[in-house]
Amino acid sequence: MKKVFVGMAGVALTVAMTMGLAGCGGNGAIAQARNIHGEEVSEEQWITALTEVSDAEIVGIAEGEAAAANFSVSCEMDVDMDVTVEEQRVGDTVIIEGGSMSVDMNISATVITADHKTHITMTYDMKMDGSEAMLEDLGGTAVDQSGSVEVYTSYENGQIALYARVNEGAWNTLSGSLGSLEGVADSVLQQLDAITEALGEISVYASRFGDFTYSAEDKGHVYNNESDMGVGSVVGDVGGKLIIKIKDGKLAAVLQEASLDANVSGMTMAGSAGMGLVYTVGGQSVTLPAV
């Protein structure tokens, strides 16, 4: 039970996803991903489209092993989740502390990769609160923060250059990671890392064409096992739907969504999770900031 809880709640901390999707509107990436009509494709077309956006190509640039990947991704994420856990005892021993937690998070991001460089912009509004025991189980703390983060990375001659700024402030040249960036909570930086990791993991599905079935109703290829999203899942293995949409031979959109309303062994969980990614492959450029 605790594993299920941590897996689902960890989405709010580390991945970035959409809650209450049935009522989600607007013109953001989630709505766009839903509306895109993906085409039914062959396995060969599937492999070509997914490997074209692999971040293995981006990393390979640093070693001179691959041509520069060229694409942009718009990402929209929104979380609204409530969890309550009753205290569990065996005799006089507490094995699970009772408590509650709520998460309300909205994130929008754009990732552009071109010319051996990557440009990421992310705006966020994050609120997470709850009992101390629940937050400790997740390795986190209460968060109430909004703002923006902008990051450039450059891979040249085997070296990685990293530039970042918070809330459109001064640019910082960082060494190795974003961990030294000031003015932003660790949980926000975790979301930023999770976005890039999720993008890289999409290409894992290139070898899993047989695990998907095309659905005209869903306008794309739907993963067959809703109870196990598989490698790269952004909503946790709690049931849901993963749709990959390919159009004109290119990856056009990825949509994951799941809802949860359960009361199991003293744990009540209500909410849903998901993420929308909308791709434009080719035609991109990145210019590093003047630092």
pLDDT in tens, 217-227: 999 999 987 65
Task: Report the share of the chain in percent with pLDDT over 90.
Answer: 27
Q: Is residue 253 part of a domain?
A: yes
Q: Quick one: tokens of 76?
A: 């929209």
Higher pLDDT, 266 or 45: 45
Q: Which of 130-144, 162-176, 200-214 has the lowest mean pLDDT?
A: 130-144
pLDDT tens digits along 63-115: 455 567 889 999 988 777 888 877 777 777 866 677 788 888 888 999 998 88
d(CA 146, CA 176): 25
Q: Give the range among 41-45, 112-116, 167-171, 268-272 with minimum mean pLDDT.
A: 268-272
Q: Is residue 79 part of a domain?
A: yes
**Interval 225-241: pLDDT, tens:** 765 554 444 444 445 78
Q: At 252, is the pLDDT very low, low, confident or very high (cuts 50, 70, 90)?
A: very high
Selected residue with higher pLDDT from 199 and 162 = 162
| Domain-embedded: residue 243 | yes
- Domain interval for residue 225: 2-281
Statement: residue 138 has pLDDT above 70 = no
CA atoms within 13 A on the CB side of 88: 11
3 phi and psi angles, rounded to 5 deg = -60, -45
Q: Evaluate whether residue 288 is within a structural domain.
A: no
For residue 289, is it within any domain?
no
Q: What is the number of domains present in the chain?
A: 1
pLDDT at 20: 34
Domain-embedded: residue 291: no
Q: Write the pLDDT tens digit of every residue in 146-169.
A: 899 999 988 766 677 888 899 999
287 is a domain residue: no
Interatomic CA distance for residues 266 and 85, integer angstroms: 6
